[in-house]
């Protein structure tokens, strides 16, 4: 199983997400997020998410809301418009919680 991290955030400890699978960053922290760079972000997301298995893998929602949205759209296309399994940090319980999204 793979946990696709929507955007890398320097210094963020994601080790508790390892219980869901191996971490794979979709958009690196070094990539510029700007309106002029949207095509590069989308192309990068496609390249990274191509092997996504919607029944086994997770999308960890992290970073800029625009990046999260774009990555989820690309992931839904890679999953053929089916279901996505996403992880969201629950600050009260201090752990990642799984949500199944049916698209």
CA distances from 103 to 13, 54, 55, 67, 79 (A): 29, 11, 14, 18, 10
pLDDT at residue number 73: 92
Q: pTM of the predicted model, to two decimals?
A: 0.92
Check: CB of residue 51 under 8 Å from CB of residue 26.
no
Enclosing domain of residue 52: 2-102
- Identify the H or E element spanning 88: strand 83-90
pLDDT per position in the chain (103 positions), as tens? 999 999 999 988 999 999 999 999 999 999 999 999 999 999 999 999 999 998 899 999 999 999 999 999 999 988 876 789 999 999 999 999 999 988 7
- Give dist(CA 98, CA 55) in Å, integer: 13
pLDDT of residue 46: 96
Half-sphere exposure at residue 16, Cβ-oriented, CA atoms within 13 angstroms: 13
Domains: count for the chain: 1
């Amino acid at each position: 199983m793979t946990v696709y991290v929507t955007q890398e955030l320097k210094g963020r400890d994601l080790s508790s997400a390892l219980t869901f699978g191996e971490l794979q960053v979709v958009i690196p922290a070094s990539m510029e997020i700007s309106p002029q760079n949207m095509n590069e972000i989308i192309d990068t997301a496609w390249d990274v998410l191509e092997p996504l298995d919607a029944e086994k893998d997770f999308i960890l929602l992290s970073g800029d809301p625009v990046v999260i949205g774009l990555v989820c759209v690309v992931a839904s296309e890679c999953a053929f418009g089916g279901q996505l399994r996403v992880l969201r940090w629950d600050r009260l319980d201090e752990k990642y919680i799984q949500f199944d999204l049916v698209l």
